[in-house]
Amino acid sequence: MRTSDTDVSPTRPSKKQHRAAMIAEAASGGLRAILVKIALLGIVDAIAVYGLLILFLHQQWLVFALVAAVTAVVNWIYFTPGKLPAKYLTPGVIFLVVFQIFVVGYTAYIGFTNYSTGHNSDKAQAISALMSSAQERVPDSPAYAVTVLDQFGTLSLLVTDPNGKVSIGSADTPLTPVSNAEIQGGEAVGLGGYTTLSFQDILARTTEITALTVPFSDDPNDGALRTNDGSNAYIYLSSLVYDEQADTMTDARSGTVYSDTGDGAFVAASGEEMLPGWRINVGFDNFARAFTEEGIRTPLIGVTLWTITFAALSVATTFFLGLFLAIVFNDMRMKGRKFYRVAMILPYAFPAFLSALVWAGMLSESFGFVNQVLLGGAQIPWLTNEWLAKISILVVNLWLGFPYMFLVCTGALQSIPAELEEAATVDGARPWAVFRLIKLPLLLVSVAPLLIASFAFNFNNFNLIYMLTGGGPRDASADVNVGATDILISMVYKVAFTGQARDYGLASAFSIIIFVLVAVISVIAFRKTKALEELNR
Amino acid sequence: MTVNTKNLLRAGALVCVATLALAGCSPSSSDDTSGDTAPANTLTVWVDAERLPALQPATAAYTEKTGVKVDLVSKDNATLKDDFIQQVPTGKGPDITMGAHDWLGELVTNGVVSPIELGDAANDFLDVAITASTYNGQVYELPYAVENLAMLRNADLVPEAATSFDDMIARGTAAGVTYPFLVEQGVDGNPYHLYPFETSFGAPVFGTDASGGYDATQLEIGNAGGEAFASWLGSQGKNGTGVFNTEITGDVAKTAFTSGDAAFWLTGPWNVSAALDAGINLAVDPIPAPSTNAAAPFAGVKGFFISEQSKNKVAANDFLVNYMATEDVQTALFESGKVLPALKASAEAASSDPVVAGFAAVGAEAVPMPAIPAMGQVWQFWGIAQAAIINGEDPTATWQKLAADVQGAIG
């Protein structure tokens, strides 16, 4: 834009400019404004200090440093004079970082890991889970009543076997019979020289007690006694042996050795994986899978084409219907415009997923309102025929989406100066020419970015697809779980979350691919609309 | 500079949000519900929102007895499992969660649950409950209720139970209502509700291994019995008698039965109260078999799991094994949920209710729904194939394709 008209020499202000400066001065300065500013920043800082205190107590140093830095920067920006752009931009930038960049960054990070069912936590947790599941009770072994005893900080189990025989043992000493135990109701409850732990003491030392294994005899193959509740113990043998030095798991029965091969799980030489494994970084594996795995690659092209078609047609149909209605209702000769306008906006006022569900019911083949009432009992498979389902989706989306376009176009039309139309009419232009050559281009200047945003929204319009058809109808003869109306995002959902297998890594990788796709299309579209902006010059 | 005031407001709001959000990100902020910062004698238990009222008095009694505080957290059943799997590794999960036995494969594969040793108490539970709670030879779930399908009958329309599937259709038709028999389906089918008929033809999904657990390597679904079931299903579908219809969704079936337009309804205990509230004279019968074997539905076993990362395992085990497994508590849970208790003694007491007794009789035949991860691969092809057969596709070819697809997906 040219700026010469505002570039007036400050030495000779006009009267008007002088007055404007006075108003600006009065508005900006003043004790009241400063007080309000201090009060507001005070609230912000108070909350920040509270947050910092909590973070300090929980020793979350990274987050602590971030919050401290952000608070300092915010104070600095608003307390130093000038820095007007920063004062405007800071809130938006912080929101952008917290709600957009962090989310995208985290999704991208997950996309490079194997986070999925069976790779859910870190290695230490996987090992502890494997070892705890490997504790197998020796078949046909009896239950032992136990009392937990303490002697100089070392825990022992005082064991009464089903025959009433009493013995004692600790982690280092196998069970040895004792004769002088204090017996209550057939069960040994105390022993001289030891302190009996109460239930409260047991709870306080949970970690020690769950880790306590008392060898049954000198032979480790006889197993060891463990108690889970502090009152009953059973003899367990571990079916797995973990070798910390070699970092291997050995199956105690078959002798198969599973080692950490860097795949996020213990793997046997035969390739058999032991789950649970743990999360690791897998580089571009997930992205490679998106293009090589049979179940994904085969439907990918068809689904991508339908996604683009669906998004483009949704934008086109809603825009033209919205525009048409906007023009009609913008005409001064139209009576009851206000009433119609409110009625038009109603579909926009319902939550979209609810409308989609209602439509799904209305379009049902045998029981739906459309077939039963409107079409007098016809059996039209609106949602179960491949092509009709696609059309139904577009029609429902048109119903859902046109009020938005109607609102936007109404606003844009009203901002076009009436003089332009008058001038064109005086010059002898027909109404259609006025619309095509003057109104539409001017309208597109302001509406084109919204159309691009609407395209991006519909590209990922999961709610509508999921609620209306669930991606169906599915072709029973196809090998993969993808239906005729599935768009990319609903396909990702099915691929990554079908049945019991959750694959967050793959889903994140797909989200990133979709993000890139939408971004590229949007950038190209924005480039094109640059040409429209020339009109304003 | 009035603009700045506005900006300040915005900045204030955002810093609050940012601070709180960041503080919320930390694994152990002050408002968390985990066991790691709570005192050692507090147990955090996630429960299905609907079961919360039933558990409250029971847990209060436990606190009184042992001094262990039980913090019940109401969760949405739809997101409970995923939340549990995601939060246990972070240390923010609960000590105990309520759940269903068919989650076991996923929970164990993710290493988030700890085995529970029931000891001799295992014999006090219904066999199906213990079998269902066992995974790879270890018990991971303390069962409290067993759910299965049964045939609901409108006793005003049909006074006596049907002896076979054809007999049922005949009686239903004779009653002169719109739907002699209803079963929930949908565009993608509903194999859970058709499974009793499939087992009647001798086609379970998986065979069992030596220990009685399901074995993913023995896929049984495509056997001769499966094909026989498929052709029977085709003959009862769109091009046949029309008994089965994929347009009948759960809601359609419920509306029809509760308004007296249907004689028989194959459904579970979760729909009983709707039928009773509508004033239907309800009888619960065994599922009439269309073929030689009994029609055995899937059993779903509800129960409690202990988190592998719990810092309170002793209290958790004591709470479940020595308290929740007792007759009084199981009976109390039954009183509020009216679902068959998993404990034999409570189940017998509960069977004085004719509806519960009806479901229990069917439950004696029921088989646990497979919890192995391979089952996930079965669901995605199973329903769609059944729906196609009902809608007139060639039964044998569709069924063979189903078996091949499942086999391919399991690998």
Instruction: Report CB contact under 8 Å: A203, B105.
Output: no
Specify the pairing of strand A154-160 against strand A144-151: antiparallel
Residue A390 is predicted with a pLDDT of: 94
Q: Does B20 touch chain A (CB under 8 A)?
A: yes
Q: Does A138 touch chain B (CB under 8 A)?
A: no
Q: With 60 as the cut, is the pLDDT of residue B2 above it?
A: no
Q: Does B366 touch chain A (CB under 8 A)?
A: no
Question: Residue A18: which pLDDT band, with cuts at 50, 70 and 90?
Answer: low
Residue A13 is predicted with a pLDDT of: 55
Cα torsion A263, A268, A272, A275: sign: negative
Q: Does A254 touch chain B (CB under 8 A)?
A: no
Greater pLDDT, A27 or B259: B259
Question: Residue A25: which pLDDT band, with cuts at 50, 70 and 90?
Answer: low
Q: With 80 as the cut, is the pLDDT of residue A467 above it?
A: yes
Predicted complex: ipTM over 0.90: no
Q: What residue ranges define each of the domains in chain B, with the CATH number in brackets?
A: 42-147+300-368 (3.40.190.10), 148-298+370-410 (3.40.190.10)
Query: What's the gap in Å between the CA of A55 and the closest CA on chain B?
Result: 6
Residue B24 is predicted with a pLDDT of: 42
- CA nearest to A485, candidates A233, A314, A343, A291: A314
Instruction: Report CB contact under 8 Å: B112, A129.
Output: yes
Instruction: Report CB contact under 8 Å: B23, A63.
Output: yes
| pLDDT (average), residues A273-297 | 85
Question: Residue A58: which pLDDT band, with cuts at 50, 70 and 90?
Answer: confident
Mean pLDDT of all residues in chain A? 85
Query: Cis before residue A431, ω within 30 degrees of 0?
Result: no
Q: Does B397 touch chain A (CB under 8 A)?
A: no
**What ranges make up the beta strands (E) of B121-201?**
134-135, 138-139, 141-148, 150-154, 179-183
Question: Do A84 and B36 touch, CB atoms closer than 8 A?
Answer: no
Give me the DSSP letters along B285-345. EPPPPSSSS--PPEEEEEEEEEETT-S-HHHHHHHIIIIITSHHHHHHHHHHH-S-BSBHH
Chain B from 288 to 317: CB within 8 A of any A CB: 308-309, 311-315, 317
Give me the percent of chain B exceeding a pLDDT of 70: 90
Q: Tell me which of B8, B92, B134, B306 to substitute to probe the interface with A (most A C-beta atoms closer than 10 Å).
A: B8
Q: Does B15 touch chain A (CB under 8 A)?
A: yes
Q: Which residues of A touch B86 (CB under 8 A)?
A: 120
Q: Which residues of B touch A87 (CB under 8 A)?
A: 3-4, 7
A60-64, A198-202, B29-33, B351-355: least confidently modelled range: B29-33
* Burial (0-12, 13-18, 19+ Cβ within 10 Å), A382: buried
Quick: pLDDT tens for B70-90.
Answer: 999 999 888 898 899 989 998
Query: What's the gap in Å between the CA of B387 and the closest CA on chain A?
Result: 9
Q: With 70 as the cut, is the pLDDT of residue B164 above it?
A: yes
Instruction: Centre a 10 Å sphere on the Cβ of residue A492 and count the other Cβ atoms it contains.
Output: 25
Cross-chain CB nearest to A70 (options B2, B18, B321): B18
Q: Tell me which of B5, B43, B314, B400 to substitute to probe the interface with A (most A C-beta atoms closer than 10 Å).
A: B314
Q: Does B217 touch chain A (CB under 8 A)?
A: no
Tell me which chain B residue has its CA closest to the CA of residue A495: B380
Cross-chain CB nearest to B12 (options A44, A70, A207): A44
Give me the DSSP letters along A437-483. IIIHHHHHHHHHHHHHHHHHHHHT-HHHHHHHTTT--B-TTSSSS-B
Query: What's the gap in Å between the CA of A31 and the closest CA on chain B?
Result: 12
Largest Cα separation within chain B, whole Å, is 87
Q: Which residues of A touch B138 (CB under 8 A)?
A: 133, 136
**What ranges make up the beta strands (E) of A328-390?**
none
Cross-chain CB nearest to B115 (options A54, A74, A133): A133
Classify residue A100 by its DSSP letter. I
Mean pLDDT of all residues in chain B? 86
Question: Residue B30: which pLDDT band, with cuts at 50, 70 and 90?
Answer: very low
Residue B40 is predicted with a pLDDT of: 55
Q: With 60 as the cut, is the pLDDT of residue B38 above it?
A: no
| pLDDT (average), residues A349-377 | 85
Q: Does B211 touch chain A (CB under 8 A)?
A: no
| pLDDT (average), residues A46-55 | 92
Tell me which chain A residue has its CA closest to the CA of residue B245: A366
Rounded Cα–Cα distance for residues B118 and B139 (Å) = 8
Residue B6 is predicted with a pLDDT of: 45
Count of CB pairs separated by less than 8 Å, A with B: 232
Quick: pLDDT tens for B211-237.
Answer: 778 888 889 998 999 999 999 999 999
Residue B14 is predicted with a pLDDT of: 45
A21-25, A333-337, A450-454, B89-93: least confidently modelled range: A21-25
Instruction: Report CB contact under 8 Å: B22, A55.
Output: yes
Instruction: Centre a 10 Å sphere on the Cβ of residue A241 and count the other Cβ atoms it contains.
Output: 14
Residue A6 is predicted with a pLDDT of: 42
Q: Which residues of A touch B68 (CB under 8 A)?
A: 203
Q: Does B25 touch chain A (CB under 8 A)?
A: yes
Query: What's the gap in Å between the CA of B163 and the closest CA on chain A?
Result: 31
Residue B334 is predicted with a pLDDT of: 87
Q: Tell me which of B5, B6, B10, B22 to substitute to probe the interface with A (most A C-beta atoms closer than 10 Å).
A: B22
Residue A366 is predicted with a pLDDT of: 77
Tell me which chain A residue has its CA closest to the CA of residue B66: A199
Q: Which residues of A touch B2 (CB under 8 A)?
A: 27-28, 33
Q: What residue ranges define each of the domains in chain A, with the CATH number in brackets?
A: 123-274 (no CATH), 289-536 (1.10.3720.10)
Rounded Cα–Cα distance for residues A421 and A416 (Å) = 9
Residue A536 is predicted with a pLDDT of: 58
| pLDDT (average), residues A89-95 | 89
Quick: pLDDT tens for A483-537.
Answer: 889 999 998 888 777 666 788 898 899 889 899 989 999 899 888 887 766 665 5
Residue B27 is predicted with a pLDDT of: 39
Instruction: Report CB contact under 8 Å: B110, A118.
Output: yes
Instruction: Report CB contact under 8 Å: B318, A502.
Output: no
Quick: pLDDT tens for A127-141.
Answer: 989 988 888 888 888
Residue A322 is predicted with a pLDDT of: 92
Q: With 70 as the cut, is the pLDDT of residue A29 above it?
A: no
Contacts of residue B190, Cβ cutoff 8 Å, sequence gap at least 6: B183, B184, B383, B386
Question: Do A464 and A400 touch, CB atoms closer than 8 A?
Answer: yes
Quick: pLDDT tens for A206-240.
Answer: 888 888 889 888 888 888 899 988 888 999 988 88
pTM above 0.90?
no
Residue A22 is predicted with a pLDDT of: 58
Question: Do A348 and A459 touch, CB atoms closer than 8 A?
Answer: no
CA angle (B334, B304, B365) in 5-degree steps: 60
Cross-chain CB nearest to A498 (options B117, B247, B376): B376
Residue B231 is predicted with a pLDDT of: 94
Q: Tell me which of B36, B62, B110 to substitute to probe the interface with A (most A C-beta atoms closer than 10 Å).
A: B110
Cross-chain CB nearest to A130 (options B111, B119, B252): B111
Tell me which chain A residue has its CA closest to the CA of residue B321: A229
Locate A61 and state its tokens. 């140093």
Question: Do B20 and A64 touch, CB atoms closer than 8 A?
Answer: no
Residue B8 is predicted with a pLDDT of: 43
Rounded Cα–Cα distance for residues B181 and A105 (Å) = 54
